[in-house]
Structure 1
Amino acid sequence: MPSEFVEAARGELRQQRTFRINQLIQLDATRPVAVAGTVRKEVHAKLNAGAMTVLSDIDSALRRIEHGTYGCCQGCGKPVSLQRLTALPMAPLCGSCQRAAGKRSAFDDTNQT
């Protein structure tokens, strides 16, 4: 993996991390009160959970950069394509492993990929 690419990914991941932290701060500041509708609380909870998941994925990718394993598929160990990492810098899996994980999760709701 070219070092320039890894450094660019690190910068992108840091920007995305800052965005997600700010998003969580805003969500916390606008938490629906008990009298708000159930739908609003559910939407708020889903937004919060989604932001937390992405933040966790970003932190994992940053750790992989620090450990020198960024760009290696966490499933099979093969390289993750530069195209995939450009589109999704926090991607832990190559396309093949992601497709396989997606097929499993479609039938197994206990598998959280």
Structure 2
Amino acid sequence: QTQVRWIWETYLEDPGQMKDWRAAPILADLKGLAPAHLIVGSLDPLQDDSSNMAAALKAAGIPCSLTVYQGINHGFIRYGRLIGTARRAIADCAAALKAAFAR
């Protein structure tokens, strides 16, 4: 909880913004969104948020998949040149996007 609190304090100018859907998309009206493919590392302090968002999307009737990459932290996808798991995640995202466009 301390780490997540620090993340919010660093990310937002005002704690009141925590209730703004633009800072916390899970608070938005999710109905009618496009299919979603969420990715998260198993070591990401925001992993629970990703799981909660996937559940909220599914509850709103949005097709959603969530892939948890083991042993990886937040922001790993930026390191595709260095980390094989990031390259795999990029390929998985591309495949999910291709499948969504095929619908």
Same fold per superposition (TM over 0.5) = no
**Higher gyration radius (CA):** 1
More strand by share: 2
Which is helix-richer, 1 or 2?
A: 1
TM-score, normalised relative to structure 1:
0.29
